[in-house]
Amino acid sequence: MAPIRLAIVGLGKIARDQHLGAIEATDGVNLVAVASRNAQLEGVHCFHDIADLLASDVGIDAVSLCTPPQGRFAQANAALDAGKHVMLEKPPGASLSEVYALEALAKAKGLTLFSTWHSRAAAAVEPARALLVRRKIKSVSVEWKEDVRHWHPGQAWIWEPGGLGVFDPGINALSIVTRILPEPFHLVRSDLTFPANRAAPIAASLAFEMVSGTPVSAEFDWRQTGPQTWDIRVETEEGPVVLTHGGSRLIVDGEPQIVEEDREYRNLYRDFVSLVRSGTSDTDFSPLVHVADAFMLGRRIQTEEFED
């Protein structure tokens, strides 16, 4: 079967750090073009933007969108309209209504749409999911605490409406929890802490319940200095199941487990190849649904101004 001819749109940090190497390492997909306002890549066709790419005679089958979510609807819509399969970085878009519209367009066109969640492809996630299906869960607690000054220095856009604030990392935790728990859960309380001078939250304290009533709590905080925390702890009747380091390590009943080497983005491209080949889509937007709920039900708490 001929490899998928892929173009990357948006050649920023995430594309260079993760996507290029993962594509190189994945059978069944070849990078043939990039579209980027500011950057060029040797050895492939380069375009200023997706419109130029789609208008060219360079043959592509699919695009991988690595641009910020705010502009992505128009790009994905143009690609689908031109008959190309589409892979979306997380979060899949700036709004739920736009990603549902893309889902409907892909379906109508018979094209693959893949809404990726890289943390969900982390090494400990699938083993944890398989284990939790067989256990009785008593409670779940998520702690996702990092230093925004270290990870997002000077990125003003993350503090703007649509930038999601602390949910930019928090949605990674939600993408894991929605995958490993055997039941859906829904929000019952949301406390959002906003710096007085910013439009997005710097911290969030969330309480959910699974359909069975089992509690799920999540604490997201961007003010953590020193050691960073990206942990999910599931208490079960048989003992605790704990994912640490953003889903890459697993500790079951106190015993660290051997999990595969972490290869989040290679897993994503492997899955994209299989989705395209089988003519299917993966459009689980549930992490973004939880974030939208957290804003809709959020109680606002104001805190001191934030400058970085």
Q: Does 201 bind a copy of itself (CB under 8 A)?
A: no
Which residue stretches of the chain are H helix? 13-14, 20-24, 50-55, 72-81, 96-109, 125-132, 148-151, 167-180, 264-278, 286-296
Which positions from 6 through 35 interact with a copy of itself, judged by CB under 8 A? none
Q: How far is the CB of 186 from a copy of itself (least distance, A)?
A: 4
Q: Does 271 bind a copy of itself (CB under 8 A)?
A: no
Q: Does 292 bind a copy of itself (CB under 8 A)?
A: yes
Q: Does 186 bind a copy of itself (CB under 8 A)?
A: yes
The dihedral of CA 98, 100, 105, 110: what is its sign?
Answer: positive
Cβ pair 47, 34 in contact under 8 A: yes
Q: Does 98 bind a copy of itself (CB under 8 A)?
A: yes
Check if 90 is active-site: yes
Q: How far is the CB of 123 from a copy of itself (least distance, A)?
A: 27
Q: How far is the CB of 65 from a copy of itself (least distance, A)?
A: 16
Cβ pair 185, 216 in contact under 8 A: yes
> Is residue 28 exposed (0-12), middle (13-18) or buried (19+ Cβ within 10 Å)?
middle
Of the candidates 211, 225, 279, 308, which one interacts with a copy of itself according to CB under 8 A? Answer: 211
State the Cα–Cα distance between residues 181 and 120, nearest whole angstrom.
12
DSSP 202: S
Q: Does 289 bind a copy of itself (CB under 8 A)?
A: yes
Of the candidates 10, 127, 247, 298, which one interacts with a copy of itself according to CB under 8 A? Answer: 298
State the Cα–Cα distance between residues 85 and 65, nearest whole angstrom.
11
Among 90, 109, 136, 145, the one annotated catalytic = 90
Closest CA to 60 of 71, 44, 48, 73: 44
Q: Which residues have a catalytic role annotated?
A: 90
Q: Which positions touch a copy of itself (CB under 8 A)?
A: 73, 77, 94-98, 100-101, 104-105, 161-162, 164, 184-187, 190, 199, 208, 211, 286, 289-293, 295-300
